[in-house]
Amino acid sequence: MIKPLAKLIVALNGNVKGSQIAAGFAWGLLLGLVPVELIWGVLFLLSFLFFKHNQAAKALGLILFKLLGGLIAVPLDLLGWELLHIEALQPAFTTLYNMPLSPFTRFYNTLVAGGLVAGLVLWIPVFFLGRLAIFGYRNTLAPKIRENKLVKGIKNIPFIASLGKAVAAARDEL
């Protein structure tokens, strides 16, 4: 658990492009909103194999949104129900259901449909807000944090010291 967090800290404070970190968090959002089904595996493989983004940020976003899953399940379920009951889309859903592998994605499940649509719709705003947040962090907050006396004292706590060593090791790997 410490190593991915250390890699994210290195990425935030290093030369990693802010857009890669933001894209990783946005992918984590999408994967966190979709229940673990075949469609989740397909999305995970797509994100892992074909898109360049920060894997630690994706892991953080995935964990965060999976933990929030209980709080957002009802709105996602309602969104999926509304989507699956749009009369104009019924022929497309019927055709999709009759295709060989698509029923295994469980697209017809209200939670899967709602999570997928919400994740796809929120992906772009989360990406741009993430880029903005990373820019703000790097230019204003990070220098203040480095010079804070409290932060310098906290670095002596054993867990924080081990995290610092992991960050240094992660920095050396890059």
**One digit per residue, pLDDT tens: the chain, 174 residues?**
566 666 676 677 666 777 888 888 898 898 888 888 777 777 888 888 888 888 888 888 888 888 888 888 889 889 989 888 889 988 888 888 888 887 777 777 888 889 889 999 999 999 999 889 888 888 887 777 777 777 667 767 777 777 777 766 766 665
Q: pTM for this one?
A: 0.74
* Segment holding 38, helix H or strand E: helix 38-50
Burial degree of 30 (CB within 10 A; 0-12, 13-18, 19+): buried
Query: Which residues span the domain enclosing 79?
Result: 2-173
Number of Cβ within a 10 Å radius of residue 119:
22
Total domains, the chain: 1
First-to-final CA distance of the chain: 18
| Contact call for residues 75 and 115 (beta carbons, < 8 A) | no
